[in-house]
Amino acid sequence: MSAAISTLFRAKARYTIATSTTSHITSSRSSHFASRPCFRASTFSPKRGPQVSRYITTSTKGAGNGSNATWAKYILALSATAGASWYLYTQQGTLRLDSGKTFTHLHPLAPDDEVSLANAQAIKSLETLDLPEESAILTTAPNVPPPITRDHPVLLNVDLTTTAKLEQLTNQYKYEKWTFNDTVPGPFIRARVGDVVNLKITNHDESGMPHNIDCHAFLGPGGGAPLTTVGQGETKSARFKLQKPGLYVYHCAVGPVGVHIGNGMYGLMYVQPEKELPAVDKEYYVMQSEFYHEPPEKDENGQVKDTVEFSWSHALREAADVVVFNGKEGALTKTPLKANLNETVRIFFGNGGPNLTSSFHVIGSNFDKVYRDSDVLSPPGQCVQTVSVPPGGSTIVDMNMVIPGTYTLVDHAIFRLEKGASGYLMVSGEPTPHLYHSNQAPMPCEGCKLHP
């Protein structure tokens, strides 16, 4: 209120000064023009005379009545303004809804400590939320945790460890992979929109390399990476509310990011929508990625080693030496995916990269439903043959298996087949000659990687 009154008095002062100045200027101009013959009233034209006279006149005719009227108008304006100011002041921070309800918050000029206190009271930290607690079921590829059937959010505990381990990469070479929970790709994490993930990450990498998590499902700086960076032997915890449903890639984001991803540090998190996708008979987890390695070195006896190491130059040129599903050559050919005739198979497919876009295709089948880019809120695409999945992206595809046999998963950038990008889905059941038939026996080509 005091601010409003102060403003009005400043306005009055400006009004008084302006009136005084105008009177002074008018008097001066009157004297000036009156002293010049050309501005005598007798020389004025009928049109210009009255106009100039109004401009230079200093007559006080009716001054008393005009002065009283001016003050009355001023006092009336002052009263109206003061009343309006007081009303607006009392309404500061009030929000009125169409329903008639009102909500009041702090005055915008309130001290910062009052605002902070109010926010602290109104917004509970994720540390103080009172939610039921669950431990996430983590599975290694190609397995997927069972669907979540609850209809409420929980505090979901997810424990991850980072390690380095030497294991087979191709049929010929071994490679030291950097992993989450000793697997490449990392474990499949299933949650529900609205859940709060309580992520605990522990670094067991004995090389001293720090690691962290950038999860595309976590909204906030770095996807959680700044809160989860751990050095050797260190453990950290952080909480993240899952606000958007979908299938999201997670990966290590310690620099150089490409090296950590290129060595195997990636996985998928599926955030179920409130209304889950239609149920299917089988669900599988498949992730494509590529590896870059130097040529094998020779040992002290001149024999070629069976171990290869990461190649920075190959990665920069995006010249992949190995392109595989689920972390190694033969992961899905030596241990194929399986289904029965007339079952519906769902594949949660992700691309860890770090560089190449995948053209995911299943030879001999179409995708009856495609949730492109893992958009689980929009209607799915139907009858799609090949799906493009960029590095750091994912898709969900459903297939109805109506003919028995072996189906081959490929990246349809087809020369990548020679670098390891293939897998099998074997469908068991009785023949269906009304759909697929020949009088001659099938004859796959010798050494064929597509039709075993």
Tell the residue number behind the tokens 């049929």, with chain if given.
171
d(CA 309, CA 169): 11
DSSP β-bridge partners for residue 249: 268
Q: Is residue 204 marked as binding? A: no
* Tokens of residue 95, six digits: 């929000």
| Interacting residues of 318 by C-beta distance below 8 A, sequence separation 6+ | 355, 356
CA angle 361, 424, 394 (to 5 degrees): 45
Identify the CA nearest to 210 among candidates 255, 263, 165: 255
Query: Are the C-beta atoms of residues 401 and 344 closer than 8 Å to each other?
Result: yes
* Tokens of residue 62, six digits: 């009716």
d(CA 320, CA 355): 9
Give the C-alpha distances (Å, rounded to integers) separating 353 from 178, 290, 321, 389.
15, 6, 13, 10
Query: Are the C-beta atoms of residues 284 and 337 closer than 8 Å to each other?
Result: yes
Identify the CA nearest to 376 among candidates 156, 220, 199, 191: 191
* Cα-to-chain-centroid distance, residue 442: 48
Residue 411: φ, ψ to 5°: -95, 120
Residue 386: φ, ψ to 5°: -140, 140
Q: Is residue 251 marked as binding? A: yes
Q: Is residue 260 marked as binding? A: yes
Q: Is residue 401 marked as binding? A: no
Q: Is residue 412 marked as binding? A: yes
Residues tagged in the binding site annotation for Cu cation: 211, 216, 251-252, 260, 265, 412
Q: Which residues fall in the annotated binding site?
A: 211, 216, 251-252, 260, 265, 412
